[in-house]
Amino acid sequence: MKRFCIILVAALFVQAYLPVRAQSLPKIGTSSIEEVVSAMTLHEKASFLVGVVSYGKNADGTTRKAVPGAAGGSVEIPRLGIPFTYYPDGPQGVRISPTRKGTDKTFYFTAFPIATMMAATWNADLSGEVGEAMGNEALEYGNDILLAPAINIHRNPLCGRNFEYYSEDPFLAGKMAAAMIRGVQSNGVGTSLKHFAVNSQETFRRENDARVGQRALREIYLKGFEIAVKEGKPWTIMSAYNQINGTTASENWALLTGILRNEWGFDGFVMTDWTEFTRNTAAQIKAGNEQLMPGLTKQVEQIEKAVADGDLTMADVDLAVTRMLRVLVKSPSFRGYKYSDTPDLAAHAAIARRAADEGIVLLKNEGGLLPLRDTHKKVALFGFGSYKIYQGGTGSGNVNTTGIVNIDTALKEAGFELQEDLAATYDGVRIDFKIGEKLAKLRAADCDLAIFTIRRSAGEFVDRREIKGDFYLTDNETASLKNVTEAFHAAGKKVIVLLNTGGVIETASWKDWADAIVLPWQPGVEAGHAVVDVLTGRCNPSGKLPMTWPVAYNDIPSSKNFPSNFEGNSWRKGPVRDAFDPNKRNEGYTEYEEGIWVGYRHFSTFGVPVSFPFGYGLSYTTFDYSKPVVKAGKKGTFTASVTVTNTGKAAGKEVVELFVTAPKGTMEKPARELKGFAKTRVLAPGESQTVTISFDTYGLASFDETLNAWVTDKGEYTANFCASVDDVRASAPFKVKKAAVNKLTVTL
C-alpha cells in the first residue's frame, strides 16, 4: 500500500508538473520574454541575432515567406511562436519588389520627396505626416521596421548619399527625423535611425576611419542622432560601417552603450549596416550591437564559438536577444497583423505633392517673373530633366515607384503649349548635346518662354565628383544655357532654370543668366505637379535651403579632406576595392580637420561669400518680422516669439529660423547657430501670426573637450529671427544667469 501510494504521488507529480512544462513550451504572446529566452537553445539565440542572408534566405538556409525585396529581417523560431519579421528600406518610401512571381498584382508604393527636400520644407509636422503615410505603406505591405530615416550630416556636398540625409545642420536634421520617426511608428511599425555615426562619404565607407575631434563629434555628428533618439524614440538604430577614431562603429561600446543607451536613454536594439564583411562578432555584441545584418551563417557559428571560448557570456547573448524581442513583440508580424497589400496610394500621392510643394526652393525671381500668370503660353522646354525627371537618387535609397509625373506632362495638364519639335529632340536621346545658337533663336522666335532643366543624380556606393557633368555643368550644358538665355533675352523673353538635383551644384558662374531659378530637388512621384504648382503660383514657394550653396568647391572647409575626385566604385569587388590602402588619406582614413566649421557655421562666421546661404528661399510675397521677445521660463527654459506679417500681395507661408549668438566665452563659437525654427500657416496678405519657439540652456551648450562636458556660458545671448542665416530680420537679447556644466564620462 505504501509503495502504491508513493508511485501514485510520483505519477501525479509527473503528470502535474513535468508534462505541463514539456507541453506548454513558453510562447511569444502568452509567456514572458524572459521565459521564452530561457527556453531558447544557444543555436536559436545565435540565429536570432543574425539577420536574414541576402534578401530572403535565413542563416540556416530556409526561405522567408513574404515581402520580397525587403532588405532584411529577423528569423522565425516557430516552436516558440517567433515569426519572421521584415525590414525594407528606406528614407524616401518603402522599398520592396513591386512585382512578384505567380501574380499580376503589383506592390508599388509612394516615392515621397528625398530627405533633403523634406528638410527644405522646414515643416516638422509635414515630415510627421509623410512618416505616417510611409509607415502605413510599410504596415499594409506586411513589414515591421522601416530602414529610415537617415540622418548623416552633409559635411561635403559631394557625398553620394546626401540626398538621403537632411542637412548640414544637426538641429534641423534631428527635428525632421524625430518627427518622421513618430509618424512612421504611429502605425505600430518601427524605424531604424541610420547610419550611426559619422558616415559622411561613400568612398571606402566600410573601411574608412573618420578621425574627428570630440567637439565636432558631439556638436555636429552626434547631435542630430541625440535629438532624434530622445524626441523620436526609434525602435532601432543602424550602426555605420565606418570606424570612428580607430574603432568600427558596430564594435564601439562608447558609441552604442556609453552614449546611446547610458547618456540618451535609448531602449531599442541596434542592428549593423548590411555587409558581407564580418567584424569581430563578439566585440559587436559586447558593444551593444544586437543584430548582425544582413546575416551570414558564419556569424551564427562565431557567436556559438565565442560563448564556448568565453569571449561572450550567455548573459551577453541573452541580453541581446531580450532587447531584440522587447522591440519585436510590438511589430505587426508578432502581433499577427492582417495586412491588406492595398495601401491608399492615391491619398499618399496627395501628401507627397503637398510635401514637394513645400520643399521647392525659389532661388531667384528677377522682376517677379514668377508666378506665371498666363498659363496659355507656348513654352520651349529644354533639358532631359524636363521630360524625364529624376524623382530620387540611386542605391538602397531608391524606390520602385510608379506613375512619376514629369514636368512636360504637368505643364500640358495645366494648359501650357509645348514646342513639340523640342520634345522630339530630347525623346530617347541619352547623350548630352548642345543647343546651338540657331536652334535657340528659332525657339526664341516661336515660343513665349524657356524652361531649362538641369538634372543630376547620385546615390549609394560612389561619391559625387568635382567634375563637369556633376558638380559643374557640362560644356554642352553651359553652351546651351548661354545660347538659350541670349536668344530669349534678345527677343525680350525670359528663361527659367529648374534644378532637378539631390544636392548642391555650382551656380555662381551662370546664375546671372537666368531670370528665375527654381530648385525642385528630387521631388518624388508627384514631381511635375509640384513644379507646376510653384511655377503657376497654385503654391507659393516656402522652401528654404537646408545646406549652403558655395561659390566655389574649394570654399568648403572639408574640400581638402574628402575624396572629391575618386574614380570607380570602392564597394564592388574588383581592382578599385583591391587597391584599398588603410594609410591613404581620404580613403583609408579621413581627417575631419575642419572640426565644427561645417556649412554655414564656417561661411557666416568667417564672412566667406556664398552663392546661396543656408536657410535661403524666396516667396511670391514679402514678410515683415516684428515684436521679437525672449522670455525665460523655469529650469533654464526659454520661449522666443516673433510676429510675422504678410506684407505682400500673395498668400504664403514663412519659415522663421532662430539663430542664437552666444556671448564671448572660453570657446570659439559660430557667429550664429540654429536653435529653433517654425513655419507659419498660410498667411493672407496683411495677416499676421506670432510664432513661438522653445529652447533651453542645454540646447545652447557647446562641447568643451578639455572638460569633456557640455558647457553653457552665462551672459547675454542674442536671439536672431532670420529669413536665412545671413538675413537677420529681428533680434532680442536674453540672459543666461548661471553657467551650466554637464560633465560626461565617455569619449569616442
Does 194 bind ligand BGC (CB under 6 A)? Our answer is yes
Q: By CB under 6 A, is residue 660 in contact with ligand BGC? A: no
Q: Of 289 and 453, which has the nearer Cβ to ligand BGC? A: 289
Identity of the residue, 206 or 218, whose beta carbon is nearer to ligand BGC in the bound complex: 206
Residue 71 found at the interface with ligand BGC (CB under 6 A) = yes
CB of 64 to ligand BGC, least distance (A): 15
- Decide: is 208 part of the binding site for ligand BGC (CB under 6 A): no
What is the spatial distance between Cα 308 and Cα 400, in angstroms, rounded to a whole number?
45
Q: Which of 67, 117, 126, 147 binds ligand BGC (CB under 6 A)?
A: 147
- Residue 396 engages ligand BGC in binding (rule: CB under 6 A): yes
Q: What is the CA radius of gyration of the chain?
A: 28
CA dihedral 407, 408, 410, 414 (to 10 degrees): 130
- Torsions phi, psi for 281 (to 5 deg): -55, -45
**Cβ nearer to ligand BGC, comparing 90 with 371:** 90
CA 277, 279, 282, 284 torsion: positive or negative? negative
Residue 67 is a binding residue for ligand BGC (CB under 6 A): no
Helix or strand (DSSP H, E) at 182: helix 170-185
Q: Which of residues 497-516 bind ligand BGC (CB under 6 A)?
A: none
Residue 331 to residue 70: CA distance in whole angstroms: 15
Please say which residue, 238 or 725, places its beta carbon nearer to ligand BGC: 238
According to the binding rule CB under 6 A, does residue 89 interact with ligand BGC? yes
Instruction: Quote the least distance from Cβ 464 to ligand BGC, whole Å.
Output: 17
Residue 22 CB, nearest approach to ligand BGC (Å):
40
- Binding residue for ligand BGC (CB under 6 A) from 163, 166, 274, 717? 274
DSSP state at residue 729: E
Backbone φ and ψ for 591, nearest 5 degrees, come out as -85, 120
Number of residues that bind ligand BGC (CB under 6 A): 8
Smallest separation (angstroms) from ligand BGC to the CB of 206: 9
Whether 273 is catalytic: yes
Verify binding: residue 270, ligand BGC, rule CB under 6 A.
no
Give the nearest distance from C-beta 429 to ligand BGC in angstroms: 32
Q: What's the closest the beta carbon of residue 147 comes to ligand BGC, in angstroms?
A: 4
Question: What DSSP line would sit under 471-534, residue for residue?
Answer: TB--HHHHHHHHHHHHHHHHTT-EEEEEEE-SS----TTTGGG-SEEEE--S--TTHHHHHHHH
- Tell whether residue 463 is a contact of ligand BGC (CB under 6 A): no
- For residue 175, which of 678, 742, 691, 672 has the smallest C-alpha distance? 678
Q: Comparing C-alpha atoms, which of 618, 683, 614 is closest to residue 647?
A: 683
Catalytic residue among 144, 209, 273, 533: 273
Distance CA 344, CA 353 (A): 15
Tell which residue, 116, 165, 201, 158, has the closest CA to residue 472. Answer: 158
37 vs 399 by CB, closer to ligand BGC: 399
| Closer residue to ligand BGC in complex, CB, 324/440 | 324
In angstroms, the CA 60 to CA 565 distance is: 42
Does residue 202 interact with ligand BGC by CB under 6 A?
A: no
Half-sphere exposure of 92 (CA within 13 A, CB side): 32
Q: Does 464 contact ligand BGC by CB under 6 A?
A: no
At closest approach, how far in Å is the CB of 44 from ligand BGC? Answer: 24
Which residues lie near ligand BGC (CB under 6 A)?
A: 71, 89-90, 147, 194, 273-274, 396
Q: Which residues are catalytic?
A: 273
